[in-house]
């Protein structure tokens, strides 16, 4: 199984700053079609997860351009710039390269 490992944040983060959340996969998520199958979700307290980024860097419909995704085949970054109060949530990376689909452990964002 592909293991997804997320980094922690130096919480709390000042509002208005730029924040980067890291994620690493144990296997390359680059597929033969040229797409990298890495997704990012956010989950606000008490709510369902919602899709932010797919194919490593494509924003989902309606997602603010303050959110951006980047990376290589195994190392990925979600950047929020600038971070706002509404961004308080836990962020998950997830691979859809192959089954079983696996998630990172989550990274919690707290604001100062």
Partner 1 sequence: VQLVESGGGLVQPGKSLKLSCSASGFTFSSYGMHWIRQAPGKGLDWVAYISSSSGTVYADAVKGRFTISRDNAKNTLYLQLNSLKSEDTAIYYCAREGSSTGDYWGQGVMVTVSS
The residue ranges that bind partner 1 (CB under 8 A) are 39, 41, 43, 48-51, 54-55, 58, 60, 92, 94, 96, 99-106
**Among 17, 59, 11, residue whose Cα is nearest residue 50:** 59
Cis before 80? omega within 30: no
In the sheet with 67-71, reading across from the earlier edge strand, the strands are 4-6, 19-25, 75-80, 67-71
Q: How far is the CB of 4 from partner 1 (least distance, A)?
A: 10
Q: How far is the CB of 44 from partner 1 (least distance, A)?
A: 12
Q: How far is the CB of 75 from partner 1 (least distance, A)?
A: 19
The residue among 37 and 83 lying less far from partner 1, judged by its C-beta, is 37
The residue among 67 and 92 lying less far from partner 1, judged by its C-beta, is 92
Q: How far is the CB of 61 from partner 1 (least distance, A)?
A: 8
CB of 109 closer than 8 Å to CB of 89: yes
The C-alpha atoms of residue 65 and residue 56 are separated, in whole angstroms, by 14
Structure tokens of 44? 């606000």
The residue among 17 and 69 lying less far from partner 1, judged by its C-beta, is 69
């Amino acid at each position: 199984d592909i293991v997804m490992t997320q980094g922690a944040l130096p919480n709390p983060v000042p509002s208005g700053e730029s924040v980067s959340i890291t994620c690493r996969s144990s296997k390359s998520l680059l597929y033969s079609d040229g797409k990298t199958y890495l997704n990012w979700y956010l989950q606000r307290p008490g709510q369902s997860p919602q899709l932010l980024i797919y194919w490593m860097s494509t924003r989902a419909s309606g997602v603010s351009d303050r959110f951006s995704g980047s990376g290589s085949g195994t190392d990925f970054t979600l950047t929020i710039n600038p971070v706002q109060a509404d961004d308080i949530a836990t962020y998950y990376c997830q691979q859809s390269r192959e089954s079983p689909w696996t998630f990172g452990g989550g990274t919690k964002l707290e604001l100062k």
